Structure 1
Amino acid sequence: MSSLPRIPRDRSDDYSEGAVAARQQLVREHTGSALEHVASYSLDPGTLPGNIENFLGVAQVPIGLAGPLLVDGEHARGEFYVPLATTEGTLVASYSRGMKLCAAAGGIRTTVVDDRMQRAPVFLFPSAREARDFGRWLTEHHDDVAAAAEATTRSGRLLDIQQFSAARMIYTRFNFATGDAAGQNMTGKATFAACAWIKQNYPGELNFYLEGQFATDKKSSMVNMLHTRGKRVVAEVTLPAALVEEQMHVSTDKLFRARLVGNLGGFMAGVNNNGLHSANGITALFIATGQDVANVAESSAAYGFSELLPNGDYYAAITLPSLIVATYGGGTGLATQRECLEVLGCYGTGGVLKLAEIIAATVLAGELSLGSAVVAEEWVQAHDDLGRNRP
């Protein structure tokens, strides 16, 4: 039995001024914390149901402005100021430096290659033969399964169902288009309805778990990097050799050599990402724009590619194969998060692919900036000047 009192709750309105004040007073009495800043906020607690329980206050994360970022995308076109929420010194400055370099080279070209979110139920059978037969039945009844799933959502659409057999089980990936929402909850509800229809209509014996851990939600995995979870986005740029020398104080051949050495080091370490710090920019943008920050575990997975061109120019690209973002629903409509999305021109319906392209371009700019700083031996000095080891 706990020696501490229960956290106060108001069943009629747990986001009321009184309910919030009661929790704040509880913390003050039992921890000694004054909550001077946590309890100060401008948002309306009445907007928070569905986003948080036992609301107490806010955690204020500084937001810096990087840019301008010049993007030549199919959805994001033009220049953008990019809000980055972080407590890591040098981060905003480094991303701005990379953005300046890429803008001088004509901007970053971005392409959304794929878009899908999944839930991955597993079906269990008495033997492998029954599992095989079910797989054939499932393929034949795809339209009926899709109808059952899509009856639960206005914007979700079942694209396909992948099948992977093992022992007497069929692991599946129900792949959905989810519009401007990230779609994890949407796909869960839709897939559960589909599985219920399957259970009711399949002529044989089966059992299922709604999630067989094959969607690897909030965990990076090779299956998502190969088959896409969320948005699959490519950002690429070609940098003139003279421009790199002028702005980054390093030659393109040295930059390329460092990439080769780093690729081997990453391979030896067993990383799922041969880039440098994609999680930095993605996390900062996720916090600023109200994304589910835990999705950084998947979203920061990246394929980096560089090429030293015959004339000495430098081609660089980053592929984000499992970028999970939204411009509608979740935390995107909260006060400060909505404002940051509006800064990018991405809030609401029709903005999600634009946001995905901006994030990919931001990541590429950050990769180029940090990579150049390491090779030019400016990395440590930058942290000394701007970072957390200042007095």
Structure 2
Amino acid sequence: MRSFGPFAAPGPAGEHGLGVIDVSGTSSAAATDGAAGVRIPRDREDDYTPAMADRRRAMLTGLTGADLSGVAGAPFDPALARGNVENFIGVAQVPIGVAGPLRIHGEHARGDFIVPLATTEGALVASYSRGMRLLTGCGGVTTTIVEESMQRGPVFSFATAAAARDFGAWVTGRFGEIKRVADGTSHHARLRDIDQFQVGPLRYLRLNFTTGDAAGQNMTSRATAAACEWIAAHHPARPAYLLSGNIDTDKKHSHINTLLTRGRRVVAEAVLSRTALRAAMGVDTAELFRWRQAAATGTLLAGAAGNGAHAANGLAALFIATGQDAANVAESHASLTYTQLLDSGDYYWSVTLPALIVATCGGGTALPTQRECLALLGCAGPGHARKLAEICAATVLAGEISLAAAVVHGDWVSAHERLGRNRPGAG
């Protein structure tokens, strides 16, 4: 692998650029003075055993005095965590509630769903559930997947801007060969096209892949690494490159992903009956429309990632329940709300998620509790990622409606006071 400038060449392909991870050295980020120089216990032969988890917890308890009996209550064999975590000591147990029913008329999700949400925020499940009941009472949500692609964005360096420009034309002319090399690294990743952007003598490539039922960051890294090596070996200039020039904006919100899609672009839309809305939420569609105008202006003033209310809430809870990479909420929560006050007095409401990254294979989706939550949705295993994406979008729409109505009606704070406090005197 080639590099340029002062940057060292990255290690074996992977999201974090790591090969074999050795975490047995000194901990420099320990929380107590006595932790300096402590080595975290590891077994290089088999580190995923109850005995090794016990050893690490005992070391931590001796070091800090913390009682880790709750963390120790993992409901599965530590061997199942291999590939998901290092230095395993137990589990973070997040409460799971269910919301619904949510009726979805999708291309892949069809029927009535009860949605598992893992959260520690009181009132969240209740809010999403009432939004779902309203949507179901109004006939349900229609969902559409518009586009899908996962990216890796390498950058190539040249001596002059003209050389970088000519390199771009060379890449375009050899797309078929580049695709053959990239596709050959995976049974699932397929190179769709390559976007190109230039700054000075730097040529940024944005390789767009489809990745089946996996989120795809790691497989696209591997495929892009192979493609870049082929490009560097066959281009006359033998150009230097970095595997990620950050134009893929992995685990970060970006305007380019809002425009060009990362993961899946999904739309959820519904028409709210004026009568049903007033009966369920105590507000009128005209009041909602006036709120939407004010909220849209506030979004512009703030420069926010989306003009909705709180897409991250439902997505984070769904992601944790179903074993998604929680950091992908940073990209997935970007949302675009579009509404119309119809001549009938009813209210059209749509939410578009332009960078929704979900999977039903790989990552944490095979862990026992996460797989159970996927099974609740009929989304466990291969062949269900598009269905899960549509459920996510419909869930976001339900949460947007419920929160907006609570703000307009004036019971936003009182609902949290009633449902979101679990300690006497909590502020």
With the shorter chain as reference, the TM-score category is over 0.9
Partner-residue secondary structure (3-state), 1:93: helix
User: Counterpart in 1 of 2:290?
Assistant: 257
Deviates more, 1:315-324 or 1:30-39: 30-39
Deviates more, 1:10-19 or 1:316-325: 10-19
Q: Can you list the C-alpha shifts for 1:196-225, whole angstroms capped at 9, x where unaligned?
A: 000111112411110000000000000000
User: Counterpart in 2 of 1:329?
Assistant: 362
2:57 is the alignment partner of 1:24: yes
Q: For 1:252 and 1:86, how far apart are their aligned partners in 2?
A: 30
Q: Any unmatched runs of 5+ in structure 1?
A: none
Q: Can you list the C-alpha shifts for 1:273-307, whole angstroms capped at 9, x where unaligned?
A: 10000000000000000000001000000001111
What is the letter of the counterpart of residue 48 of structure 1? Answer: A
2:418 is the alignment partner of 1:385: yes
Counterparts of 1:283-362 in structure 2, within 5 Å, are 283-362=316-395
Q: For 2:350 and 2:191, how far apart are their aligned partners in 1?
A: 31
Q: For 1:4 and 1:290, how far apart are their aligned partners in 2?
A: 34
Contact 1:121–1:173 at 8 Å: present in 2 too? yes
Q: For 1:110 and 1:5, how far apart are their aligned partners in 2?
A: 52
User: Counterpart in 2 of 1:96?
Assistant: 129
User: Counterpart in 1 of 2:40?
Assistant: 7
Q: CA deviation at 1:100?
A: 0.5
What is the letter of the counterpart of residue 323 of structure 2? Answer: G
| Aligned sequence identity (%) | 55
Contact 2:49–2:77 at 8 Å: present in 1 too? no
Counterparts of 1:115-126 in structure 2, within 5 Å, are 115-126=148-159
User: Counterpart in 2 of 1:242?
Assistant: 275
What is the letter of the counterpart of residue 55 of structure 1? Answer: F
Q: Can you list the C-alpha shifts for 1:303-326, whole angstroms capped at 9, x where unaligned?
A: 011110111100000000000000
Q: For 2:117 and 2:49, how far apart are their aligned partners in 1?
A: 31
Contact 2:50–2:77 at 8 Å: present in 1 too? no
User: Counterpart in 1 of 2:198?
Assistant: 165
What is the letter of the counterpart of residue 64 of structure 1? Answer: G
User: Counterpart in 2 of 1:143?
Assistant: 176
Q: CA deviation at 1:41?
A: 1.6
Counterparts of 1:106-121 in structure 2, within 5 Å, are 106-121=139-154
2:261 is the alignment partner of 1:228: yes
Partner-residue secondary structure (3-state), 2:194: strand
What is the letter of the counterpart of residue 117 of structure 1? Answer: M
Q: Can you list the C-alpha shifts for 1:332-363, whole angstroms capped at 9, x where unaligned?
A: 00110010000100011110000000000000
Deviates more, 1:26-35 or 1:351-360: 26-35
2:107 is the alignment partner of 1:74: yes
Q: For 2:163 and 2:176, how far apart are their aligned partners in 1?
A: 22
Q: CA deviation at 1:382?
A: 0.6
Q: For 1:3 and 1:312, how far apart are their aligned partners in 2?
A: 66
Q: Any unmatched runs of 5+ in structure 2?
A: 1-25, 27-34
Q: For 2:186 and 2:409, how far apart are their aligned partners in 1?
A: 52
Contact 2:98–2:116 at 8 Å: present in 1 too? yes
Q: CA deviation at 1:158?
A: 0.2
Partner-residue secondary structure (3-state), 2:299: helix
User: Counterpart in 2 of 1:212?
Assistant: 245
1:54 maps to which of 79, 82, 87: 87
2:236 is the alignment partner of 1:203: yes
Q: 1:390 to 1:47 in 2, by over 3 A?
A: closer
Q: For 2:165 and 2:66, how far apart are their aligned partners in 1?
A: 60
2:376 is the alignment partner of 1:376: no
Deviates more, 1:24-33 or 1:67-76: 24-33
Q: CA deviation at 1:377?
A: 0.5
User: Counterpart in 2 of 1:44?
Assistant: 77
Q: CA deviation at 1:389?
A: 6.5
Contact 1:15–1:46 at 8 Å: present in 2 too? yes
TM-score, with length taken from structure 1: 0.99
Q: CA deviation at 1:4?
A: 4.6
Deviates more, 1:117-126 or 1:198-207: 198-207
TM-score, with length taken from structure 2: 0.90
Q: For 2:144 and 2:124, how far apart are their aligned partners in 1?
A: 25
Q: For 1:388 and 1:178, how far apart are their aligned partners in 2?
A: 42
Q: CA deviation at 1:249?
A: 0.2
Partner-residue secondary structure (3-state), 2:73: coil
Q: For 2:76 and 2:36, how far apart are their aligned partners in 1?
A: 33
Contact 2:288–2:404 at 8 Å: present in 1 too? yes
Deviates more, 1:205-214 or 1:276-285: 205-214
1:85 maps to which of 118, 132, 137: 118
Partner-residue secondary structure (3-state), 2:248: coil
What is the letter of the counterpart of residue 228 of structure 2? Answer: C
Q: For 1:347 and 1:363, how far apart are their aligned partners in 2?
A: 21
Deviates more, 1:313-322 or 1:31-40: 31-40
What is the letter of the counterpart of residue 145 of structure 2? Answer: V
User: Counterpart in 1 of 2:212?
Assistant: 179
Q: CA deviation at 1:36?
A: 1.4
Contact 2:147–2:264 at 8 Å: present in 1 too? yes
What is the letter of the counterpart of residue 342 of structure 1? Answer: A
Q: CA deviation at 1:166?
A: 1.3
Q: CA deviation at 1:96?
A: 0.4
